[in-house]
Structure 1
Amino acid sequence: MEIKHISHILDGSAIKSFGLLSDNEEILSLELKNKNGMKAQIINYGATLTSLQIPVATGGYVDVVLGFDTLESYLASYHLPSAPYFGTTVGRYAGRIDKGVFTLNDTTFQLNTNNNGNALHGGNVGFGQKVWNITHITSGDNPSVTLSLWSADLEEYYPGDLQVDLTYTLTEENELKLDYTATSTKDTVINLTHHSYFNLDGHAADLSNQTLFIASEKILETNAEHIPTGNFTALLDHDFDFRTAKKCPQSIDNSFVIASENEVAAILSSTTNKLQMKVFTNQPSVHIYVGGNCFETLKGKENATYHPFSGICFETQNFPDAPNHVHFPNSVLKKGETYRHKTVYRFENIN
């Protein structure tokens, strides 16, 4: 089913208006809730996760993702000196592509550039700024919502009509599962990711009382513009070796190479709320970014002031600039094939 311009209860899932765009198109907010009381709120602007409330052992709930209370603030955030992409679905290509150029099937494509002459997170108007259709909802155990987006051939100068479907599922094991699929009418490149900023002490706190574990022995080497050189940096004796958990860094913007989808890729832990989040994915890397700065221009949810140490992103994805490095994992989606990406954020109480 395609759901537009409605405000009611459907199968126990609350759908309400989140505001109007300049052309009066209504943006909808939908809430998923499991039997433990965990709640996820998602809007169809950018297929964005706006709130994720987790029950904690210390009592009550904590909202663990940064976001805004109004659609107007999400729209305005893309005009900040550095757009935060709070909770959005990033595409067609997450991360940077060098000079916005890649060659596919002997044809060179020049993408729109939006970051120091490079293409970042899909270009000038990426998937986080698109209105997605709510196409399917389930309730009861493991409630879910599927959102769909059609991206036209040569939008942002990427080849092929691309059909993307994203299903958010809230499991009874307190997991938020993201399942992406995509098909294209032409060979193209693709790299989708989720861009929530997590903070287990609450979206208005900082990360100072949280620790980070990443199951990675190397990161991508990058130049001054954060473009991969094609080389790797070993993490032995490196500040970013998080194979033994340690405090969250105050500044990081790096892609960590991870091995197996069956093993945990990363863990964020809070001693304050006795809560941890485990990250699982079938993608070859997790890009870690600490930030959230709104430059004292926009207020976050509940009038929070976000700053550069407000939250941490776990952007599970392919390598940035993979189309330009033959030894990087394949980023080409061929006509007739299906792109599949799975990521799970699992929340657990700890002693």
Structure 2
Amino acid sequence: MNLRIQLVTILLLISVTVSLSQTKMTVIQEASLSIKGEKVGNWEGQDVFKYTLDNGLMQVELTNFGGIISRIIVPDKNGKLENVVLALENVQDYFTKNGPYFGAAVGRYANRIGTASFALDGETFQITKNNGENTLHGGVKGFGAKVWTPETYKKQGAVGVKMTYLSVDGEEGFPGNLMTTLWMELTSSNELKLRFESTTDKKTVVNLTNHSYFNLNGITGDVRDHELQIFADAITPGGPGQIPTGEIKLIAGTPFDFQTPKNLGDQLDALGEGFDHNYVTKRANSSELKKIAIVKHPESGRVMEVFSTAPGVQLYTANGFNSFAGADGKKYEKHWALCLEPEAWPDSPNKPSFPSATLAPDEKYVHEIVYEFGVEN
């Protein structure tokens, strides 16, 4: 990653200039890392905590309920600190009001599985329908609505929370006891790093991601003025119910084309609708941590780079919001955020030509995501 910032003087504020995609950025960095946790509730007999990770420049709030990222507070080019992810007012609200999956760790299978079924080794599994005839984000009660077992940690250059969750055989219809560990950490280089690892005792399918809604203008309006670049030359177009047809469609010259930086509002106008599409960032599974997107807000100067090891990323532009009651008394409207959900391709269990999302007992599922924040002058 080309936004690495080398700390020069411990516990002092320093100003450094770094390169981001051949533009100049100035970042004020303090070599001070801390983590604070507090119990904020109880859900289904389990304690729920809120954690605040702080590196002296930016803060991240998260909770062990749903592995949810509830705040990311970063400065603009003038040093003004603002939250840049859509959120609910408090952690307790997430227990029953998080229909949009704000900030959640979604699974056991992120995105859609067509007909809410799939076959493994000749056996068909019927999973929970919660999106018409299909399954979305793991079913009625996926990973984003579960209490994870948390453990805080500190290491050189980072603080974080390690969370574990056991999804039992048959949960939402999925086979196998799936043990998942999620590391969520903030580094001294202004990176929010996520790492999912899963193992199973029976062949199953797994696809885990984070579902944060980003708005780099501090959530003061829609994201039409954001600039977006996605390092992908194709999408997997959807048919009825947004289930992929199986085609890999090249996008050069179309409204889907973000291979070079584009104004999001212009692309929305050209498309004539909102985005909710899977972009092909790799043609096959690999462990390579690849830069998949850059988001910029020219007015504030805020910049976010996204990296992932997954073969795809779902771009979603909050198409269905209509005065949704969010945090700080704000009403979230249509296109007030964009999601970049790194993940396996939708409906992969039913598309043999897609990169596989199957996990066997002798394998380990690993997915890494990095959100790296900076400021462009």
TM-superposed CA distance for 1:20, in Å, is 3.4
**Residue aligning to 1:73:** 93
- Give deviations 1:260-319, integer Å, cap 9, x for gaps: 8454211110011111111111100011001175543x5211111111211111100000
**Residue aligning to 1:19:** 41
Per the alignment, do residues 142 and 180 of structure 1 end up closer, same or farther by CA in structure 2, a change over 3 Å counting? same
Q: Does residue 81 of structure 2 align to residue 103 of structure 1?
A: no
TM-superposed CA distance for 1:94, in Å, is 0.5
**Residue aligning to 2:351:** 325
**Residue aligning to 1:255:** 278
Could you tell me which amino acid in structure 1 is paired with residue 181 of structure 2?
Answer: D
TM-superposed CA distance for 1:14, in Å, is 1.2
SS of residue in 2 equivalent to 1:239 = coil
**Residue aligning to 1:289:** 316
Contact 1:64 1:198 in 2 (8 A): yes
Could you tell me which amino acid in structure 2 is paired with residue 69 of structure 1?
Answer: E
TM-superposed CA distance for 1:116, in Å, is 1.0
Per the alignment, do residues 184 and 18 of structure 1 end up closer, same or farther by CA in structure 2, a change over 3 Å counting? same
Could you tell me which amino acid in structure 2 is paired with residue 144 of structure 1?
Answer: G
Please give the residue correspondences for 1:1-351 in structure 2 after superposition, counting only pairs within 5 Å: 12-21=34-43, 23=44, 25-35=46-56, 37-78=57-98, 83-138=99-154, 141-248=157-264, 249-250=267-268, 251-259=274-282, 261-291=288-318, 293=320, 295-296=322-323, 299-351=325-377
Per the alignment, do residues 43 and 292 of structure 1 end up closer, same or farther by CA in structure 2, a change over 3 Å counting? farther
Contact 2:39 2:49 in 1 (8 A): yes
- What is the CA–CA distance in structure 2 between the aligned matches of 1:57 and 1:66, rounded to whole Å? 21
How much is the aligned-residue C-alpha RMSD, in angstroms?
1.8
SS of residue in 2 equivalent to 1:231 = coil
Structure-1-length-normalised TM-score: 0.91
- What is the CA–CA distance in structure 2 between the aligned matches of 1:154 and 1:24, rounded to whole Å? 21
SS of residue in 2 equivalent to 1:225 = helix
**Residue aligning to 1:4:** none
**Residue aligning to 2:28:** none
TM-superposed CA distance for 1:72, in Å, is 3.9
TM-superposed CA distance for 1:139, in Å, is 6.0
TM-superposed CA distance for 1:59, in Å, is 1.7
- Give deviations 1:189-236, integer Å, cap 9, x for gaps: 000010000011113432022111011110002103110111121102
TM-superposed CA distance for 1:61, in Å, is 1.0
Greater mean alpha carbon deviation, residues 134-143 or residues 216-225: 134-143
> What runs of 5+ residues in structure 2 fail to find an aligned partner?
1-32, 269-273
Greater mean alpha carbon deviation, residues 284-293 or residues 108-117: 284-293
Contact 2:63 2:91 in 1 (8 A): no
- What is the CA–CA distance in structure 2 between the aligned matches of 1:13 and 1:294, rounded to whole Å? 33
Could you tell me which amino acid in structure 2 is paired with residue 30 of structure 1?
Answer: Y
Per the alignment, do residues 15 and 293 of structure 1 end up closer, same or farther by CA in structure 2, a change over 3 Å counting? farther
- What is the CA–CA distance in structure 2 between the aligned matches of 1:133 and 1:28, rounded to whole Å? 10
Contact 1:218 1:235 in 2 (8 A): yes
Per the alignment, do residues 292 and 88 of structure 1 end up closer, same or farther by CA in structure 2, a change over 3 Å counting? farther
For these two proteins, the number of residue pairs brought into alignment is 334
Could you tell me which amino acid in structure 2 is paired with residue 253 of structure 1?
Answer: D
